[in-house]
Chains A and B, each alone.
Chain A
Amino acid sequence: MNDVTTTPPAVDEQAAPRDAANWAKAVSRLNVSEVPEGVVNINVQGRRLTSPIQGFGKMWRKTYQVRLPAERVSATDVIAAWKQRFPDFWPQGNRFYAPLTGIQPGEVALLNLTLPGKMKLSTGVMVLYADETSFTLMTPQGHMFAGWITFSAVEADGETVAQAQVLMRASDPIFELGLTLGGHRQEDRFWQHALRALAAHFDHEAEVDTQVVCVDKRRQWSKWRNVWHSSAIRSTLYTMGAPRRAVKRLFTRDRAVV
């Protein structure tokens, strides 16, 4: 899967910075060129990326950490495995359709998530940044939160600390309500599961340290209109339209046979 509808990168007259290859190129709107069969792509195509600045809800920084023995696992080992097997570490019922080329800057991945109430949500992320010891996924309009998640690993005091850090605001008032009514807890469980699975991949059993900081208690009421892009609403409408699409397909097939 590939991104992108890009604006041409500005000509950089200076020497290329050492992180130039680590960042995604400028993107105006996301474009998913290859959609795996059976995967829904209703909330990513043509969407803009959103940082916490464009979100609605309170701003949170959530950090999940697991410690591994550095003599067995280096920081680069952790990130290499995390990139390669990213979907394998997710809890059941949630799917990450990794780009064919893997986690590379600018690539877009589709996600099918299960929310509280067994609600299915189709959305996606773009790889904003990737190097040997970290990578960052950024969300598009309509995702449950506006912001990014950085996965990183560092070696310190004989340990390799693997970390997932989310910097986010709920995208719209509905998601804000959902996060308040159990969504935050579910998200914590999600990333705690992922980090435990990552540690287990290295044959290590470890507890996950969780730190949650409310960076900004204010809600950005001017952003309530983000609800227009809500992947929850659009995914629900899409699911409700499934019988109609099935009948339509049936008739289309019959006509093709005749």
Chain B
Amino acid sequence: MPEAATTFDVREISPATGVIDIKGDITAHSEDVLMDAYARASREGVKAIVLNFSALDYMNSGGIGLLVTLLVRAQRQHQRVLAYGLSDHYRQIFELTRLDEAIAIHNTETDSLTAANKEHP
């Protein structure tokens, strides 16, 4: 199967928060790299995973499915998932697929981190 043209960089913002910077495409073929990034971001003590979509080029329905899977894994670890940097187009898709009911969407990284810290200071 073809690998998607995507990179997922992980940043440790605080002991309780990890950020995943998504660059490129998210399709069903991104599963291994996305889940690897989640595993790296999800160290012990992490209570919030923030997804940065600012450099997202393309996402299809397979990609949305992957985000649901990531969400389930995070919930199993009692972690919240937040997102920022979504274009209007992808915000609409989050609403359409009702992903926005489980992944809190924010405008900026600062907003996301503030929201994450409110819950887990």
Majority DSSP secondary structure for residues of B touching A: helix
Contact with A along B68-89 (1 / 0, CB 8 A): 1101100010000000000111
CB-contacts of A38-76 with B (<8 A)? 48-54, 59, 61
A residues less than 8 Å from B59 (CB atoms): 19
Question: Interface size for chain B: under 10, 10 to 19, 20 to 34, or 35 or more residues?
Answer: 20 to 34
Task: Considering the complex, give the chain A residue whose CB is closest to the CB of B56.
Answer: A17
Q: How far is the CA of A131 from the CA of B71 in the complex (A)?
A: 26
What interface size band does chain A fall in? 35 or more
- The residue that A148 contacts in the complex, of B58, B61, B89, B93, with Cβ under 8 A, is B61
A154 touching B97 by the CB < 8 A rule?
no
Q: Does A23 contact B (CB under 8 A)?
A: yes
Is the C-beta of B60 less than 8 angstroms from some C-beta in chain A?
yes
Interface pair B99/A53, CB less than 8 Å apart: yes
- A112 interface contact, C-beta 8 A: no
Q: Which residues of A contact B92 (CB under 8 A)?
A: 9-10, 23, 25-26
Interface CB pairs A-B, < 8 A, 14: A12-B88, A13-B88, A14-B89, A19-B58, A20-B89, A25-B92, A26-B92, A53-B71, A53-B102, A54-B101, A129-B60, A148-B65, A154-B1, A167-B68
Interface residues of B (CB under 8 A from A): 1-2, 28, 57-62, 65, 68-69, 71-72, 76, 87-93, 95-99, 101-102
* A binding-site residues for B, Cβ under 8 Å: 9-14, 16-20, 22-27, 48-54, 59, 61, 128-129, 131, 134, 136, 138, 148, 150, 152, 154, 156, 165, 167, 215-216
